């Protein structure tokens, strides 16, 4: 078997494993020149997506519900487990790997996070590089299969993998469903392309403030979770 055939077979094997453990979508990203310096020694990323329950999401059309808040936590737990298992699986095949979890609330540098509303690596970058979907007007990853109703995690690795075809522009067209529905009025309505600053898509400060208010009012929990822009997207609705 030649190098490319071996890479292809190993990629297929890894994807099948992670899907069999409960992932909804698995893609491989060439991250060279894209990952920030703290991760630039990793050439590749495995992007793992877990789809959110359609029944739960259909209840989120005008704000967060306690069912959605539980679903959000379930997806995070499953993703963090899948990312760890994938890293272990890759390591056992003789390569190096590091899981970057779905949400890393405990290790967020509090004040710096409050100021930037950014973390060290964006899962959506790995996802578009893996070809799993595009960035919507909502600034969310939109997959053809599930729309934006997926949560994500990434595994960095030096394992040679067959990378997907990068997606570099949005495909929302005339649709403005998320722009109209956002309870914070935070989504500006721009079509995404690689390099477009986040601020041109979404007012993240307004989004976070509204999410906190709505979750407290409707669910009685102090956190920042909403989900309306996920729920109203028409892509991938079955
Ligand atoms: C901080 C944060 C927030 C902040 C800021 C949001 C934001 N857009 O940055 C606040 C609190 C407002 C927030 C809100 C929400 N969040 Co949030 N959040 C994060 C977190 C922890 C870090 C994001 C970050 O660093 N942002 C910095 C900016 C610069 O990047 P970005 O917008 O995330 O991504 C940009 C790049 O990836 C770039 N990009 C894409 N492809 C490429 C390719 C190349 C080559 C380059 C250079 C760039 C590039 O385009 C993106 C669009 O701006 C991520 C988890 C993670 N580690 O990724 C979750 C995450 C983005 N959130 C998520 C979700 C679902 C939400 C909410 C719906 C809340 C909820 N759970 O109900 C809302 C939606 C807000 C919105 N419409 O953007 C999901 C998104 C899933 C998806 N389908 O895309 C993530 C990925 C969590 C997860 N593990 O799944 N969030």
From first to last of its 238 residues, the chain has per-residue pLDDT tens of 788 888 899 999 999 999 999 999 999 999 999 999 999 999 999 999 999 999 999 999 999 999 999 999 999 999 999 999 999 999 999 999 999 999 865 555 578 888 899 999 999 999 999 999 999 999 999 999 999 999 999 999 999 999 999 999 999 999 999 999 999 999 999 999 999 999 999 999 999 999 999 999 999 999 999 999 999 999 999 8
Residue 27, strand partner residues:
47
105 belongs to a structural domain:
yes
3-state secondary structure of 81: helix
Q: Which residue has the tokens 């009685």?
A: 220
Q: Whose CA is nearest to atom 40 of ligand 1?
A: 125
Domain count, the chain: 1
Q: How many helices (H) and strands (E) does the chain have?
A: 8, 6
* CA of 124 relative to ligand 1 center, distance in Å: 7
Distance separating alpha carbons of residues 134 and 166, to the nearest angstrom: 9
* Atom from ligand 1 closest to the CA of residue 117: 1
- Side-chain half-sphere CA neighbours of 57 within 13 A: 23
133 belongs to a structural domain:
yes
Domain of 39?
Answer: 3-231
236 belongs to a structural domain:
no
Cβ-contact 124, 134 below 8 angstroms: no
What confidence score (pLDDT) does residue 6 get? Answer: 87
153-165 per-residue burial string, b: 16 or more CB within 10 A, e: under 16? bbbbbebbbbbbe
238 belongs to a structural domain:
no
What confidence score (pLDDT) does residue 223 get? Answer: 92
* CA of 139 relative to ligand 1 center, distance in Å: 7
237 belongs to a structural domain:
no
Lining ligand 1 with CB less than 6 A are 34, 72, 102-103, 117-119, 121-125, 128-129, 135, 138-141, 148, 150-152, 194, 198, 201-202, 204, 207-208, 224-227, 229-230
């Amino acid at each position: 078997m030649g190098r490319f055939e071996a890479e292809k077979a190993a990629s297929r094997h890894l994807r099948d494993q992670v899907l069999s453990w409960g992932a909804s979508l698995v893609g491989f990203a060439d991250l060279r020149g894209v990952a920030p310096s703290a991760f630039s020694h990793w050439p590749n990323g495995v992007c793992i997506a877990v789809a959110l329950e359609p029944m739960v999401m259909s209840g989120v059309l005008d704000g967060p519900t306690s069912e959605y808040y539980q679903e959000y936590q379930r997806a995070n737990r499953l993703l963090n487990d899948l990312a760890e298992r994938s890293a272990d699986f890759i390591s056992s095949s003789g390569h190096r790997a590091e899981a970057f979890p779905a949400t890393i609330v405990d290790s967020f540098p509090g004040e710096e996070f409050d100021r930037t509303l950014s973390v060290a690596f964006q899962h959506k970058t790995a996802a578009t590089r893996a070809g799993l979907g595009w960035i919507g007007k909502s600034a969310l990853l939109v997959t053809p299969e599930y729309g934006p109703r997926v949560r994500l995690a990434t595994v960095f690795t030096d394992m040679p993998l067959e990378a997907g075809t990068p997606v570099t522009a949005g495909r929302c067209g005339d649709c403005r469903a998320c722009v109209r529905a956002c309870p914070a009025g935070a989504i500006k309505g721009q079509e995404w392309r690689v390099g477009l600053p986040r601020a041109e898509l979404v007012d993240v400060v307004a989004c976070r403030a509204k999410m906190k208010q709505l979750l407290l009012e409707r669910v009685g929990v102090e956190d920042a979770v909403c989900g309306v822009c996920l729920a109203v997207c028409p892509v991938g609705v079955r």
